[in-house]
Chains A and B, each alone.
Chain A
């Protein structure tokens, strides 16, 4: 079971800070599951640009949407964001 954390606008869309997800192999599968649960508004927010971390490491520095998700992993999902 992995923990998925939501940030910024995704909290308003999902109404949650985090959920638990079972039986997903990788980030691509996880996103599909999240699109099913939270619908188009969620999909539109993250589909084009996003920041997804698995245990604090950006999936773009690993295997992208093929990055594996294992039990007890923490997945952080952000909409596009910046500042400074």
Chain B
């Protein structure tokens, strides 16, 4: 008997309609742990990394983590792993809410989706009973309505649904997979892959209890770690009080709040869109995910949209300061629209910011837009109008749906695009946190903050404060540790926000208690390193040219920050990158040597 997992994977072929069960044992858990680990194993084993991401050759893995569905604090997460239509490399999107735990409770650890259906379908799972059903009646519907209809159809309000909105159906390159209305496996266009397969939703209801090897021991470890989080000033107080948006004032005061497509590092209206302002004006209550003692999720109420969830810090910035927009109610509405159409908010905002920069420079003109609103900085009309247009690929939305990089390329200004590996950057200007900049440049899924959040040591001071402009080996090593540890936390099915209170040894304790393993922190971290390298291997096989693509937009490496506390600074990426490769044990050209792959047990994937 297995613990933590059932050892059962569901394989669904949408081309043939065949549904199979496959099994795995404890060795597989010790090798890959879960989510990203399971996902990269199957992608490397079963698909050509050069395959077109929107073709039937691409595979999609929905996977729970080792502690998903247990009572471990925040143990409710799942990930979607596939080849990204935005970057052309690995997509590893993580979501909270309740879907992941429900999938595990239905007796399934992961689902492999392959092939392509001719007509819209959804996958219905009720414990062991699994079937593909017609989804024509919900095709074209937004996320909220889709969830409502499919829940009614199932006849059980506890059912959990992961679905796509019109953006995914229309193959918008940054469409998300959504669950619980507002929770997103957001980045990399995983929703477009689901849309290309004509899979509208996965509907799941489970009635099983996830077992651990020694329940009373596990409960006592869970209690200990939950207490740490509850008593932690950030996880137990700051995040519940103000949500992630507490960062608006922090990042702005520190001078790295990207403003108007990263032209500036401070936004003069930041206060008006801060977590403090949101709590005062619109907050109704907190909404935690499954088994979460933190509860950073916000339920807001505005006149235009009524009760809605979010925005989180990143979305608030992407649809606000990055576009020069200061009106909080408009941002909340834009965030709601992104969720309902099934769009990644960061890439949506980044794409609109690219358009504003092109318009400002006269490269994109009103003639190109016709009667549609001008892309002027601060124009709130832009966010609401173009979000629905791009989700439906109507008018100029057809161009925007391709993402910021392709937009910038079309209008002859690739440097106007602020992203890495064709994915739009999140809400920190790395000219004010250079280690975080190295993280952007080397992230396996392109422009991204959450796979190695160096903002923690560089700005927030966790686990200890590091100077944001220190680029010594200590900083590079910290980035590598964060990349590897985050892979472990993801694969465990936990939320990265637990890191504000927990350290690497705490995750070891939880995992060992669930499985009855006696693995050291170093051994768990080695799995993280293996996952990171395996994802890199996939990217290299897909055609990644490290020396050209492990990079940052010129604005961040060549144009000094014009004002504020980081005035005069750039990211000294060229000084850090060779040391990063060396400390990773990689070749000078950023490829992985055979002996490193062997050391990590990855020979069979070469």
Contacts and interface: CB of A to CB of B under 8 A. Distances in A.
Given A48-B233, A56-B564, A81 B497 contact: no
Given A51-B460, A83-B244, A83-B245, A8 B565 contact: no
A5 to B, nearest CB: 8
Given A51-B460, A82-B460, A83-B296, A8 B468 contact: no
B234 A82 contact: yes
Contacts of B592: none
Contacts of A7: 249-250, 253, 276
B450 A84 contact: yes
B453 interface: yes
Contacts of B238: 8-9, 79-83
Contact of B241 (A8, A48, A49, A61): A8
A55 B249 contact: no
A32 B536 CA distance: 51
Contact of A51 (B250, B312, B456): B250
B313 A84 contact: yes
Contacts of B275: 8
A60 B460 CA distance: 11
Interface in A28-64: 48-49, 51, 53, 55-58, 60-61
A22 interface: no
Nearest to B254: A56
Max chain B C-beta neighbours (<10 A), residue from A11, A58, A78: A58
A11 B279 CA distance: 12
A11 B242 CA distance: 12
A46 to B, nearest CB: 10
A4 B389 CA distance: 45
B243 interface: yes
Interface in B236-273: 237-239, 241-247, 249-250, 253-255
What's the dominant secondary structure at chain B's contact region? helix
Interface string A2-26: 0001011101000000000000000
B565 A57 contact: yes
Contacts of B28: none
B276 A8 contact: yes
Interface in B22-37: none
Given A8-B275, A11-B276, A55-B565, A83 B239 contact: yes
A25 B276 CA distance: 30
A80 B241 contact: no
Nearest to B449: A84
B443 to A, nearest CB: 14
Interface residues of A, number: 23
A53 B460 contact: no
A76 interface: yes
A81 B465 contact: no
B467 interface: yes
B289 to A, nearest CB: 15
B500 interface: yes
Nearest to A59: B465
Contact of A56 (B453, B455, B565): B565
B254 A84 contact: no
Interface in B182-196: none
B234 A81 contact: yes
B465 A60 contact: yes
B467 A61 contact: yes
Contact of A9 (B237, B453, B459, B497): B237
Interface string B474-504: 0000000000000000000000110010000
Contacts of B465: 58, 60-61
Given A79-B233, A82-B456, A8 B450 contact: no
A48 B237 CA distance: 14
A83 B243 contact: yes
B496 A84 contact: yes
Given A7-B249, A51-B250, A56-B566, 7 more contacts: A8-B238, A55-B565, A56-B253, A78-B253, A83-B313, A83-B497, A84-B453
9 contacts: A51-B461, A53-B253, A56-B254, A81-B246, A82-B235, A82-B456, A82-B462, A83-B238, A83-B246
**Which 7 pairs between the two chains have the least Cβ-Cβ distance?**
A56-B565, A83-B244, A80-B233, A81-B238, A82-B234, A60-B465, A83-B247
